[in-house]
Structure 1
Amino acid sequence: MSTIKITSDNFEQEVLKSDKTVLLDFWAPWCAPCRMVAPVIDEIAGEVTNAKFGKINIDEQPELATAFGIMSIPTLAVMKNGKIVNSMVGVRPKASILKMLS
């Protein structure tokens, strides 16, 4: 599965109503660490079939960044049944991101 661009328009359908675990990547194009973690997220999205992977550009979706209290990026948040169950800030290795999903 590939990553999904999450916006305020599709957030409810793609994240809150998802029957799968959702990993959200809060990022911005000017953020070098975000560009470092992006290919890792893309790789995991291609390997893991029991979860969804969404990317939220905080410059384009400031209301979602505010709603989640995002203070630093990249921030990864794992949601199950519409609630955050795990999160981490900064660049992390693939193994750490996979562990977040378990």
Structure 2
Amino acid sequence: MANAVPVVHKACAACQHQSRRCDANCELAKYFPAEKAEDFEDVYHLYGMQNTLKILKSVEEEERDKTIESLIMEAKMRLEYPVHGHFSAVRKLSIEIDKAEKELEF
């Protein structure tokens, strides 16, 4: 009789953050595996757990991957540009484009 090796399920980043067991019903495990702890912390810091879940539940199932990508990107932009978030990056790039267009005119 072979010894069965138990399958170890590592808690997702959200469950690790809350110091709880991660079970098959965890809504965030798919989007924030343990390896994405930094992404989860960024999103958690900006939106919180309940708002993140609310946002996820407000979109169709097939849109949730893109929604999480957007939340992660927005959270990272907010860390880099705390006052205006992604608008600062957009504005900076817009200024660079205007400058490049003016250089091309000459």
TM-score, normalisation: structure 1: 0.29
* Structure number having the greater helix percentage: 2
Larger RCO (CA under 8 A, 6+ residues apart):
1
TM-score, normalisation: structure 2: 0.28
* Structure number having the greater strand percentage: 1
